[in-house]
Amino acid sequence: MKSNITTLFFIILMLFRSEAQNPVSFYSFKGFHVGVTGEFKCIQKSNYISLHNVGSLIDLPPRGRCAPGWGTGIEFSYHFAKYFGINIGINYGTALAYNYDIYYSTVPYDYGWVEENRYERLRPTLFNEMQFPIKLEFHYPLCKDLFFMAETGVNIRGVALRLNNEKGTLGDYFSGLSFLVKTPSGYIEIMYYDQWAERDMSKIYCDLLIGIGLYYKLPYGDLLRFTTGVNLSFSNTLQGEYLYHRTGNYGTFSVKNDFIYTQLSYIHTLNWQKAKKYLKKQEYSFSSKQERRKKIIELLSNYLF
């Protein structure tokens, strides 16, 4: 009996000794995080379709071009498993943009018009709104401080407009180009081209997000993330028509919110505070703040996957 008690006591003592020797893990992908994000967007070309060309002069349909966009915001994330997490963002930036080249069949010259038959680039049109990305994330270590990541989710936009407009409210979007034409009695302004479209201001859009990227763990436990991906819309945001006033040529145009994005994010993991609390609980004593900082960095580097 005495021998059994001695053996049991020895086993318990070894278990406590083993636990004390195990390093404390401050794994960055654990628990609740908060971050800031900034992104650049390359927004898909608007679509122009000619419906009618009349007369001896023909104005070709405008030529859609990619438009630049941007976004910035904050995100809140929770990593609920070893390799998975979810994050919710509150972003402000470009939610609708279109860019196009207009076709000049003729341009004013002296007291008349001369043929040009060329495209001219115009400035892009951008509209900014609040957006709410919600994403499921997968991450996997490539080496000690570098992680591969992939994400998929939805980008919700139009919420603020929906709250400020009744169901079925339509918004009008106009743009155009005019010339000052010289006449014997002076200069007069003549409209050359315009386009107009409508948007359902009460509609909330839900786009698909897919991206891949890399995480880098900083020495003090926080994370840098670089992501590139695509945003795919399921319907047009704008639908309208265009008209060349001088020749009468017209057609339709539409705008979606498809874009390629690159995003840089800084993620605060709270691990620095956790390490300080751990050292205080273990009753470590330090001769200086520099010595304590060195010990915290050492702890943060000793994490387990």
**For residue range 192-209, what is the model confidence (pLDDT) as tens digits?**
999 999 999 999 999 999
Q: Quick one: 32 exposed, middle or buried, by C-beta within 10 A (0-12, 13-18, 19+)?
A: exposed
Please report which residue ranges of 70-171 form alpha helices under DSSP H.
159-164
Q: What's the predicted TM-score (pTM) here?
A: 0.80
Tokens representing 283 are 């009753």
CATH topology of domain 31-269: Porin (2.40.160)
How much is the mean pLDDT over the chain?
Answer: 85
Burial 43-70 (b: 16+ CB within 10 A, else e): bbbbebeeeebeeebebbbbebbbbebe
Domain chopping of the chain, boundaries: 31-269, 273-305
User: By mean pLDDT, which of 56-60, 101-105, 140-144 is the weakest?
Assistant: 56-60
* Angle at alpha carbon of residue 215, lines to 211 and 217, rounded to 5°: 165
Give the single-character DSSP code of 61.
P
Tell whether the model's pLDDT for residue 135 goes beyond 60.
yes
| pLDDT (0 to 100) of residue 278 | 66
d(CA 140, CA 147) in angstroms, rounded, equals: 5
**What are the tens digits of pLDDT across the range 207-256?**
999 999 999 988 877 899 999 999 999 999 999 999 999 888 999 999 99
Instruction: Give residue 19's pLDDT band: very low, low, confident or very high (50, 70, 90).
Output: very low
Please report which residue ranges of the chain form alpha helices under DSSP H.
2-21, 159-164, 271-281, 289-301
Burial 99-114 (b: 16+ CB within 10 A, else e): bbbbbbbbebeeeebe
Query: Across-strand partners of 126?
Result: 97
Tell whether the model's pLDDT for residue 17 goes beyond 50.
no
| pLDDT (0 to 100) of residue 282 | 65
